[in-house]
Structure 1
């Protein structure tokens, strides 16, 4: 795999993130209606711009995986260092996407280790990378780690160590909606709501507490149980759910990054090259 192919894989990940941003209506999340920084407090134009700042870091993660050749402790440590440097670059570009960076970072590294893999295979390789501790990670607590400790939520770290179950659920939802004849935007919205209906979103726990989390999960399930976003009843339920989160100013931010991860994996294989043997 060449440096150009490294960047191709990174650009595919950023394209998946941008595709998630462009999807509308996304309850509580930035979308094309947010040119005026609606309830999400994030202007979509700035989020599009800062998403591009992830490209060099993601390409570096691909190159590291290709060079090291397996889901080793060394690779986990290097991904952590690259990720923290990329977080700084994204902050300078306007901020946002912290969760998406780590989801996509593990997944691009996994894809680089096993070119041609799709779906659960990529998630399984990412799980093997995430199983190792990041020994150079700062020891200061984050919102996510605090909520994980307080409520027992898996958080981003637990999601990765479990092999991204919500990415896999989103992929299943995409396939099911497409098979049922839904348009691509509706299939993606159904996948987003599938994630939202079960994810223990630590950012949402921080801002809205356990009651707010259960309220959001129930709202997402309500849209799906009404038939999904492609149906008249589901569309009406989605509009009501969107209005509700807008009024409450609640944002289930973790779901957006996981949907971006699913869209990236769904786009694979992006790079065709000789496989890298994944070490046990």
Structure 2
């Protein structure tokens, strides 16, 4: 599992460029940590591509590498330009450049479009608020997201389809609401699992499952509609009820759920993006940095799962 180490200075002690680079680094590390977390049901992880035929762990890493510099630009713009429609336009333009860089790096596969939106806003929120408190960062990010983007493209996304068909607001609604599934669900579940003595890996899996248990995930809805969403919610509830990650029965049920989702080509990609956001805000609040994963642990995970 990626481990944590303290940063050399507090967030508030860094200058604007230092904070921007730190936030970008932390966002990148959060994307890598989410991608490498294993076993995740239906998602790309250390075992393989999950329900995705066009993605792999290598592509997820390459995508994260490609978009990281754009997080620096978003954060720096938020340090230099006050909250306004002008800042919203600048950040949105950088976000679209990040999407283009992601597509170049992955030969056209959408590895992190939702994460660019979610983490990009939170990076900006941290820069605008100059705070490491999750609720303040999420509030500032929400304020920015609710400003109009005059240059918003007219192309219809998977999230737009899910909104039109099922009323799910997706990543946009999450941001407009100040990231409730991150602040009120993902973070509390992560902290509770740690307090209960779970390993860092199992704590992060518990956080993911907590988000999956409540989120109307537009990635799930786009692929399989309400029936698929019901399968996810009921499957996750079963894993949690019998002990969750880190318990023998919970681990077995988690693997079974993953096999079911892969067989149905269901991917909770929206929940994965919110897990990355959870890891970002958690590490920012604690003043910690996510470190490289030990290769022996990767090998152990692959053998176990």
Instruction: Give structure 2 stretches of 5+ with no counterpart.
Output: 1-14, 288-305
CA-to-aligned-CA distance 1:171-218 (integer Å, 9 cap, x gap): 010011111111110000000011111111112111111111111111
Distance 1:28 1:251 in 2: 5
Match of 1:159 among 174, 196, 211: 174
Distance of 1:44 and 1:99 partners within structure 2? 17
Contact 2:40-2:258 within 8 A present in 1 as well:
yes
**The residue matched to 2:281 in structure 1 has which SS?**
helix
The match for 1:44 is: 57
How far apart are residue 4 of structure 1 and its match? 4.0
Partner of 1:77: 89
Q: Is 1:33 equivalent to 2:47 in the alignment? A: yes
Counterpart position of 2:80: 67
Match of 1:203 in 2: 219
Matches within 5 A, 1:73-222: 73-94=85-106, 95=109, 96-168=111-183, 169-222=185-238
Q: Does the 8 A contact of 2:223 with 2:265 survive in 1?
A: no
- SS state at 1:134 partner: coil
User: Could you report, residue by residue, the CA deviation over 1:207-238 in whole angstroms, capped at 9, with x for unpaired residues?
Assistant: 11111111111111211122221222211211
CA–CA distance in structure 2, aligned partners of residues 114 and 264 of structure 1 = 15
More deviation, 236-245/38-47: 38-47
Contact 2:43 2:50 in 1 (8 A): no
Distance of 1:129 and 1:139 partners within structure 2: 20
Normalising by the residue count of structure 2, what TM-score does the alignment of the two structures yield? 0.84
Unaligned runs of 5+ in 1: 272-280
Secondary structure, counterpart of 1:185 in structure 2: helix
Question: With structure 1 as the length reference, what TM-score do the two structures score?
Answer: 0.92
> Match of 1:54, SS?
helix
SS at match of 2:121: helix
Rounded to whole Å, the distance in 2 between the matches of 1:197 and 1:167 is 13
Contact 2:88–2:147 (CA under 8 A) maintained in structure 1: yes
Cα distance in structure 2, aligned partners of 1:7 and 1:203: 30
Residue aligned with 1:48, SS:
helix
> Does the 8 A contact of 1:202 with 1:254 survive in 2?
yes
